[in-house]
Structure 1
C-alpha cells in the first residue's frame, strides 16, 4: 500500500517481538552483529518520499527492551535514512491511551490496514482493513496521541 499512498503513511507498532525466525535476528541473538541491508524497504520508502508522502512510524515498547526491540532499534537508522520519521514511546508512558488491539498502517487518512501476529511474533498472513470514517478517526487519534508523547529516534537511548 505504501506504493500507492499519496500524502501520508502512519505506522503504529505495539509488539515487543515480530518475526523470531529472521536470519539477521537469529544472528543478533547468537552474538553476531545482526546487521542486514533493508534495500527493498529503503527503496519503497525513498520512492514514496520522492512522491511527497510523509511517513511516520511510532513504536510503543516495554522497558526493559526485549532482544527483538534492541535489534530493531539498531536497524532503525536505515528507516530514518530512507526518509521515515521514527519515534519510540515507553509503554509505561502510554498507560492512559486507548489504543487499537493490533498494529496498523493508516494511509492518506482514508484507509487503515491492521496487522496481526501470533503470540511469538510470527506474522499471521490475514490482514483486516477499513475505510470506515469512524475507524479511521479512532486510529488517527490513537496514532497522534502516541506520536505526541514519543521520543524521536535520535534521542531515544536504550535503557
Structure 2
C-alpha cells in the first residue's frame, strides 16, 4: 500500500477509462466540505447545493465519454442524520449520471467486505479511504495488488446486487 495525496486522488477521479465504483460503509462522515451544508440542513435552512456542481459536471463529462460511476452505500436503519442528509442531496448527482444505490446493513451480513471504504478505478487501482472515529478523513492508501482488486470487485458487486437504486430507496 502507498499513501495517496489529494492531487493523485483527484486525477484518479477524472482520468479513469471505463468505470469508477465506490463502496461506502459508514453511517457518518465529517468532511470539511460537507459539514457546513449538513449543519444548514439540520437547522432547516435552504441550500442551493451549488457546492456540488463541480462534481456534477465531472459526472456529466464521464457520461458523455461513456464512463460509468457507481456508488453503493451500506446504511444502518433507521438512518443516521448524516445518511438522511446525504439521501436528501443525492438527486443532483444521480441526475448528472452517478448511479447511487442504498442497502440496509442487515442485508450484507454474509458479504465479505474490505475493512475500509474504497474506490476501484478500472479494476486496476483500489484507493482505500481512512477515517477517524469522528468520521473525519485521516488519509488514503492505494494498491494495484490483484488480490485487493479482486476483493474490492467481489465485495462491490455483491453489495450492488442487494442494493436499491436511489430513486426507489425510501429512508427509514
**Higher deviation after alignment, 58-67 or 47-56:** 47-56
Distance 1:77 1:97 in 2: 28
Question: How far is 1:20 from its partner?
Answer: 6.1
User: Which of 109, 121, 126 pairs up with 1:95?
Assistant: 109
Alignment match, 1:107: 121
**Which secondary structure state, in structure 1, belongs to the residue aligned with residue 70 of structure 2?**
strand
Alignment match, 1:36: 49
**Which secondary structure state, in structure 1, belongs to the residue aligned with residue 120 of structure 2?**
strand
Question: In angstroms, what is the RMSD of aligned CA positions?
Answer: 1.3
Q: How many residues align?
A: 158
Quickly say closer, same or farther: Cα 1:20–1:29, change in 2 above 3 A. Answer: farther
Distance 1:26 1:20 in 2: 12
Give the number of the structure whose residues are more often helix, by fraction. 2
TM-score, with length taken from structure 2: 0.88
Alignment match, 1:74: 88
Q: What is the correspondence of 1:3-152 to structure 2 with a 5 Å cutoff?
A: 3-19=14-30, 22-37=35-50, 38-124=52-138, 126-152=139-165
Unaligned ranges ≥5, structure 1: none
Question: How far is 1:116 from its partner?
Answer: 1.1
Distance 2:154 2:147 in 1: 11
Contact 1:116 1:123 in 2 (8 A): yes
TM-score, with length taken from structure 1: 0.94
Contact 2:100 2:165 in 1 (8 A): yes
**Which secondary structure state, in structure 2, belongs to the residue aligned with residue 3 of structure 1?**
helix
**Where has structure 1 moved over 3 Å in runs of 4 or more?**
none
